[in-house]
Structure 1
């Protein structure tokens, strides 16, 4: 059985923010290029995982992009509620990354 590590052990930064009023983006910035490469090669962080964590259709996951120069992965989803709409609880989208903290990565 392979060892797994929680994403929190592997990253320097994990955050969410608006990508306009109708989209949220999530950034994973890893501690090293070696860790980033292992996570990227594992394929664990993908559209299906993001959709599952946020209980949204896969079609609402706009993209999951590996950005090698910054040792980062960026995922973007359709906001469940547009920024500033009635009933929306996080105008800036800055507190939406909590579900990502449960990701386990095989190492």
Structure 2
């Protein structure tokens, strides 16, 4: 099984305003982009399991010209809340790196 970190040259996460988080997956070429950008393993269920996101609020935005996909989901609590541990969501991508893509 191939892992996400093996088919992407760069993976990052960041806040997308106070109510959303976004992940940018830059695949290492058009072949891997075509094969994996819409892979079921990267679906809403993954973001529910890893981040507690509402699956109905997970969005995929493919950008073929850059061989990347942007995946966004609504935060479970607004940015800057009492229990916030990563205000800018800069470390959230780490959980995705070992996701297996059949």
TM-score (norm 2): 0.87
**Equivalent pairs, count:** 102
Structure 2 distance, partners of 1:41, 1:57, is 18
26, 48, 58: which one aligns with 1:29: 26
Shift of 1:41: 5.7
Shift of 1:54: 1.9
Kindly tell me: are residues 87 and 58 of structure 1, through their superposed partners in 2, closer, same or farther at Cα, counting changes over 3 Å?
same
47, 61, 80: which one aligns with 2:44: 47
Runs of 4+ in 1 over 6 A off after TM superposition: none
Is the strand fraction higher in 1 or 2? Answer: 1
2:60 equivalent to 1:64: yes
2:98 equivalent to 1:84: no
Kindly tell me: are residues 71 and 90 of structure 1, through their superposed partners in 2, closer, same or farther at Cα, counting changes over 3 Å?
same
Structure 2 distance, partners of 1:40, 1:96, is 19
Unmatched segments (≥5 aa) in structure 1: none
RMSD, matched Cα: 1.6
Structure 1 distance, partners of 2:10, 2:62, is 15
User: Greater Rg, structure 1 or structure 2?
Assistant: 1
Mean CA deviation greater in 22-31 or 41-50: 41-50
**Which position in structure 2 is the counterpart of 1:12?**
9
75, 78, 81: which one aligns with 2:71: 75
